[in-house]
Amino acid sequence: MASLISNLSSTISRLTLLPKPSLHFSVKTLGKFEVDRKLRGPISPFFRVSTNYDVAHFSSCPKAKTMNALGQDEELVVLGIETSCDDTAAAVVRSNGEILSQVVSSQADLLVRYGGVAPKMAEEAHSLVIDQVVQEALDKAKVTEEDLSAVAVTIGPGLSLCLRVGVRKARKVAGTYALPIVGVHHMEAHALVARLVERELQFPFIALLISGGHNLLILARDLGHYIQLGTTIDDAIGEAYDKTGKWLGLDMRRSGGPAVEELAREGDENFVKFKVPMKQHKDCNFSYAGLKTQVRLAIESKNIDASIPIASAGSEDRKARADIAASFQRVAVLHLEEKCERAIEWAMKMEPSIKHLVVSGGVASNQYVRSRLNKIVEKHALQLVCPPPSLCTDNGVMIAWTGIEHFQMGRYDPPPPACEPEDAMLDLRPRWPLGEEYAEGRSEARSLKTARVHPSLTSLIQASTQIMP
């Protein structure tokens, strides 16, 4: 485990930022309170939004009052913490769009050892490096905790054990230095980070969020207001890439996506006639479980031995693996294309002014995916917006930026107690929908029903605004 510390890598980049959301742990209703000395004037009072299933906090003031309280020229400095899955990440970002630091500690060695994410081992790895990652982010940014305006942290969706590590660290920092705290939706952060790098990106827009655990098509109508056009009913595309890479005996230290993409360049994408999933379903939902089975059977039919690394495979063996990789990638991405086309048509009916399709998440780093989807958006006279690869995979920048966007709207929680007990109950949302399902796209799939443990971010924000005076 000690090797994880040596794997800490940090990069500092400077980009232009924009806004994002928050919502957090259960705390008692407070009136006005002073934040740090950077924020001249009191912060607006919070409302306790209580339902049968959730407690959240939002400022009672609309955007104009909130911005007046902060001062139009007041600059925010926000620390973002991300531990939803297998990377420990932290970053410091200014509200003027400047990324002061970005640090990520990878669990690549664990992924190889266990053939994927092992939640308990991932939690231990996060716990081992979280203090060092956060401190390095502050050091690289040349700031201290006292210079921060707020702390933003992922509270869901993700693995509960992993989320807990980041949330505890964020609450410790926020409580010790009396900082407001912003609970961030991981998938919203993937969508909003595009507004950091593309100043022309305004609401409404469409977003395709693709990663190892998620396939999500949304219409982003406004900050915190999302309509779910489609999602995965079983496995996500990133999971399919990872399993394909593992079965083909590829180097998984970079995860399956990059490894399969690289090998696919050597293969014939029409060699294996895989079936495109869900052709008969006229909706925007995804399914990759069946394609995974097709790939596994094709690999078995070629007698490919995954225990023999690709680097040691003979020329004929390597060619067979490359052909399967290319054939898989073609069909996996064709599935994305077909669903995106339908999503664009649906979204344009609701919001004819849409000009952009955002593609984000770890799989959005794939150049083949980008090139294919770019043809789709050009066909519909839209513009494709993809964050740089370092901001597509899980990172602290997207969390900090989302925190900034919501903080500026007055959506945040007051500082937690300075000496919070270790066994304090935390608001973790491992299954947390981003938006409400579009009527035409609603699925009766059982997996979708059981996944809706928490009310969606959109419904919570709408409920909070309805009770405000």
* pLDDT one-digit tens code per residue, 411-466: 999 999 999 988 889 999 999 999 999 987 776 554 444 545 789 999 999 988 77
CA proximity to 82, closest of 386, 400, 301, 437: 400
pLDDT band per the 50, 70, 90 thresholds, residue 121: confident
CA proximity to 285, closest of 209, 215, 345: 215
Structure tokens at 294: 């097709």
CA proximity to 190, closest of 207, 166, 212: 207
pLDDT given at position 443: 65
Instruction: Read off the pLDDT of each residue in 309-336 and give the average, rounded to a whole number.
Output: 97
Share of the chain above pLDDT 70, in %: 80
Weakest mean pLDDT among 13-22, 82-91, 413-422, 457-466 = 13-22
Q: Look at 47 and 443; give whichever has higher pLDDT.
A: 443
Asked if the model's pLDDT at residue 15 lies above 80, the reply is: no
Q: 155 near 187, Cβ under 8 Å?
A: no
Instruction: Read off the pLDDT of each residue in 162-177 and give the average, rounded to a whole number.
Output: 97
Question: What pTM, to 2 d.p., does this model score?
Answer: 0.83
Mean pLDDT of the chain: 83
pLDDT given at position 328: 98
pLDDT given at position 9: 36
CA angle 164, 131, 399 (to 5 degrees): 60
199-223 per-position pLDDT tens digit:
889 999 999 999 888 899 999 999 9
